[in-house]
Amino acid sequence: MRSRNLVLAHVLFGKPVATFPGHALKSTAWFAVVAGLLLLVGGCAAGPSYNWGWYVLSPTGSRGLTNLAFLLGGLVPTISVSAAALAVSVPIGALIGIAGTSKHHGLLWFNRSYVEIVRAVPGLVLVLWVYYGLPVIVGLQLGIFAAGVLALGFSDSAFQAEIFRAGIQSVARGQVDGAKSLGLNRFQIMRLVVLPQAIRSILPALGNQFVYMLKMSSILSIIGFPELTRRSNELVVTEYRPLEIYSFLVLEYLVLILLASWLMRRLERTLNRPWRH
């Protein structure tokens, strides 16, 4: 009981506690269950004039099972488009961030211009522009998935650039000087000395961007990509039960984000273990 209370205190107040790694997953599941119950109770208290229709999502009937399978079918597209967009934004952001640490004025100007311009454009606007604008301007017709990955990837790359720039600049100058004394060139120093240390320090920020990408994938519903939000919108049109369906959508994102956060914390702890010689 004491360990369970410690885990709950850690989840609610963020205080470090000494628990086994398995407790983190239990606390994540416990938090999701509690939040779901609070959402359900709060929703049921909306007023006596509203007749709840949870039968549309009830697993006890064929109709509810079909609707649940349809909604949960958006998990794979949501995760896949988010991971693909992150795979686009990370290398682009790394290159732009490295340019921001250069002493060359042209590279510094390019870094600052790219970050400020891309960061100023809302993600939704960029998605619409890529999907509808590229076919008209350059004659490039992209599918829904490719357009979503490209738009989200470029939108996130500006933030990734700042993360990488800060991580690279956090590496001690003595590390670079020591590498130079060993005869390493600039490329080798960046690849073998600076980037490995920088990535370890920026891993929490990279994990935060992945969580952000999972939530931002919802804007792809506007171009018809069948992720979680799009499927909820389509089911609302057929079932006419928006409150019940969107409440379930909240729970879907809650569980998905909590699980992703837990996985990133595990990865962070693994990479931050002391090196063994």
Whether pLDDT at 14 is above 50 = no
d(CA 208, CA 206): 5
Average predicted confidence (pLDDT) for the chain: 83
Q: What are the residue ranges of helices labelled H in the chain?
A: 2-13, 21-44, 62-72, 75-100, 105-120, 123-128, 134-137, 144-169, 173-181, 186-188, 195-216, 228-239, 242-271
Class at the top of the CATH hierarchy for domain 75-225: mainly alpha
pTM: 0.78
d(CA 113, CA 130): 20
Q: What is the mean pLDDT of residues 82-94?
A: 95
Q: What is the mean pLDDT of residues 99-111?
A: 91
Handedness of CA 36, 37, 38, 41 (dihedral sign): positive
Token digits for 185?
């060139």
d(CA 246, CA 4): 31
Give me the residue spans of the domains in the chain: 2-74+231-264, 75-225
> How far is C-alpha 67 from the geometric centre of its chain's CA atoms?
26
pLDDT of residue 4: 42
Q: Check: CB of residue 71 under 8 Å from CB of residue 231.
A: yes
Tens of pLDDT, residues 205-222: 998 999 999 999 999 999
Whether pLDDT at 193 is above 80 = yes
